[in-house]
Amino acid sequence: ETGVTQTPRHLVMGMTNKKSLKCEQHLGHNAMYWYKQSAKKPLELMFVYNFKEQTENNSVPSRFSPECPNSSHLFLHLHTLQPEDSALYLCASSQERPEAQYFGPGTRLLVL
């Protein structure tokens, strides 16, 4: 595997479910990110991890819980989501500044 991978690619969940999104980067980068893209809206940065430490949390509701066990892996734990949380969730990674961010293919999430 090369680049940034995300699993699952598609996810349908009920509002009472708990699920997790997984991201893995094979680029040797030290920073990882979660973004949300809702229909016809710009990508919104959710979380930033730098050397496994969370450095940014852009006012994201607590029903989204990130986890970064090491520099290569990033998780987004989901619980009691709302239908408006349905979106494309993208993971990205980057190296030292001003390196560009490299994105995974995303997880298309539908909350019923």
Partner 1 sequence: DQQVKQNSPSLSVQEGRISILNCDYTNSMFDYFLWYKKYPAEGPTFLISISSIKDKNEDGRFTVFLNKSAKHLSLHIVPSQPGDSAVYFCAASYGGSARQLTFGSGTQLTVLP
- Return the range that interacts with partner 1 (CB under 8 A); candidates 12-20, 66-74, 75-83, 86-94: 86-94
What token pair was written down for 99? 């390196």
Cβ(33)–Cβ(49) under 8 Å?
yes
CA proximity to 73, closest of 91, 61, 46, 60? 91
Please report whether residue 59 would count as binding partner 1 according to CB under 8 A: no
Tell me whether residue 16 or residue 97 sits nearer to partner 1 (CB atom): 97
- Return the range that interacts with partner 1 (CB under 8 A); candidates 13-21, 45-53, 61-69, 78-86: 45-53
- Residue 9's CB is within 10 A of a number of other CB atoms, namely 11
- Return the range that interacts with partner 1 (CB under 8 A); candidates 13-21, 61-69, 71-79, 103-111: 103-111
